[in-house]
Amino acid sequence: MLVACEFLLEELVKYLETHLIETNSSWLRLRFSHIYKTSFQNNQLQGLQKWCNDIMAKYPDKLFESEDFTSLPENALISLIRRDDLQMEERKIWNYVIKWGIAQNPGLSSDPTSWTNENFLALKATLKNCLPFIRFFQMTNDDIVDIVNPYHQILEKNLWDDILKRFLTPNRQISSIILPPRVILTHKLPSRVTEPFSTVINEMHAAEIASWVDKKAEAYSVINNPYEFKLLLRGSRDGFTRESFWNLCDQQTNTVLIIKVNGTDEILGGYNPTFWDKSKGWISCNDSFIFSMKNGTIQSSILSRVKKPQYAIYCFSGYGPQFGSGGDLYMANNFNQINNCYCQYNSYERAIRNTNCVSYFSVSEYEIFQIQKKG
């Protein structure tokens, strides 16, 4: 196809594009990054460009959060940000465009407060073809003050005056073109006709846990969570005893423990990326963590990563799951009975309950999931 482009065989190029898209879309998806870059390096490949952008518009994080985002060709970036159906908040689009523009000017600091007038002029020249597609008039007042104002010198004076005028006196007429808001789709979760995914956590909780597993700075959204949560055990179904835990979870790897604390809104849990082995004793691990999740009256989640890897996980048939040498998260037996579980701060970075001493509790429900990358 690229050879056909070189020889200006337009009909053959279009035929090959159509053939690839209609009959080999799975092959294209497996090589998406390469296909995306290649298609925008040759303006004859309009069909592939559109095919790629239709995917990117729905899942822009795949591109904007990638390590090589700043090496994106200008025409590829513009083709995305001009779309009405780009599924991203305008403030994020603006931040990414600024990030891309700064990267095109080696030596330019990421802190605009230290810039000279020449620095702003350089960024303005770099982004001159991108700025017309930013929907400034669809941003909030806070966005304008917090993220646009520091860079207002790269905007035309008339545009900046109209932006200020619009938000100070909304009813006053302005001369700048007001682009419509982007059409953000409402994603509906598929209806479940089988056993519920979980009786304790929801899809947003699962996405947050997945982001902790991958050590992401920002949580995955529900639609881009890369992990499946396969239920191995549910207390109300399989029992709240150590025996039921080991019968169903012994030798299982990559598991997430979820606990609903009895009588509170608390959701506690732990991630074991290794395996459970009731005869093993201490299992060393660098990537395990325990947590408390935002829920009901609990206003924020707490993530606590292991700080003593040699005491990350303890396996013994006489107990249930245990994280940490002092029982940072410990379940003894008959977990739904009073005082048979507890937390205390020892082998992990932070306490996951609001206490500095041993904190006993019982569970009203608990679940064990095995997580794996979606196919």
Q: What is the pLDDT along the chain (375 residues), one digit of tens a residue?
A: 888 888 888 889 889 888 888 887 777 877 777 888 888 888 888 888 898 889 889 889 888 988 888 998 999 999 999 999 999 999 999 999 999 999 999 989 999 999 999 999 999 999 999 999 999 999 999 999 999 999 999 999 999 999 999 888 888 889 999 999 999 876 555 554 455 689 999 999 999 999 999 999 888 988 889 999 999 999 999 999 999 999 999 999 999 999 999 988 899 999 999 999 988 899 999 999 999 998 888 888 999 999 999 999 999 999 999 999 878 999 999 999 988 898 988 899 988 987 656 788 999 999 999 999 987
Pairing of strands 289-293, 267-275: antiparallel
3-state SS, residue 260: strand
Report in angstroms the alpha-carbon separations of 308 from 141, 304, 313: 46, 12, 10
pTM for the whole thing?
0.50
**Alpha carbon distance 298, 290 (integer Å):** 16
Evaluated on CA atoms 61, 64, 65, 66, the torsion sign reads positive
3-state SS, residue 283: strand
**Alpha carbon distance 305, 272 (integer Å):** 11
Tell me the one-letter amino acid at 347. Answer: S
Count CB atoms within 10 A of the CB of residue 368. Answer: 23
Count CB atoms within 10 A of the CB of residue 281. Answer: 10
What are the tokens at 20?
Answer: 């690839």
- Contact assessment for residue 228 and residue 371, using Cβ atoms and an 8 Å cutoff: yes
DSSP letters spanning 262-298: TTSS-EEEEEEEEE--TTTEEE--SS-EEEEE-BTTB
Q: In what order do the strands lie in the sheet with 341-343?
A: 281-283, 313-315, 322-323, 329-331, 341-343, 359-361
Count CB atoms within 10 A of the CB of residue 96. Answer: 21
